Amino acid sequence: MEASVIASKGKAGFTFEDVVIGAVETSSGFLITEAEIISFASRYDPLPIHVDREAAAAGPFGVLTASGAHMIAIRMRLLHDFAYGGGVIAAVGLDELRFLAPLRAGQICKVECEFLEKRASKKRQDRGVVTIRQSLLADGAPVLTLKDIVLMRRRPAGHVQSTP
């Protein structure tokens, strides 16, 4: 997948305190190829509409399409490339996962994130929980949406973030 990532803008050191509720950020682009669709699906979701050109042509979308699991994997990769740096400790859950449209070869994928809420842990001062609405966009249109709930690192007490 790395060869198809168009650009990257990672955020080293991004922590719970850096989350701004209501902020919307969009990742760099990822070009999805037919070879990647077939390779991923052959291994993890070998439905004919994902691996067989002829079957896909006769199917509901008329072409090969990426599997839902592949769409989720692309979303995750794009998040690692641009969003949270080392700030995420662990995933807590995914809510309201929806597949809105097929993802086809040749489309440029991006992830759009809107920070919805955050709360500091009452038990552990070194972490907090953040909820983010995410959309996987293909050529600018959403093909997958969900709410991602993550456990994020907090800055140590008294730590002041340096500014450039």
What is the set of domains in the chain, with CATH numbers?
Answer: 2-153 (3.10.129.10)
> Taking CA 8 as the corner, what is the angle to CA 70 and CA 25, rounded to the nearest 5 degrees?
80
Instruction: Give the pLDDT of residue 3.
Output: 34
Instruction: Give the pLDDT of residue 5.
Output: 40
Instruction: Give the pLDDT of residue 159.
Output: 56
Residues 6+ apart with CB under 8 A from 6: 28, 29, 30, 31, 108
Instruction: Give the pLDDT of residue 156.
Output: 82
Mean pLDDT by 10 residues, the chain (164 residues): 40 83 93 97 96 96 97 92 75 96 97 96 94 97 97 79 51
Instruction: Give the pLDDT of residue 84.
Output: 63
Instruction: Give the pLDDT of residue 157.
Output: 73
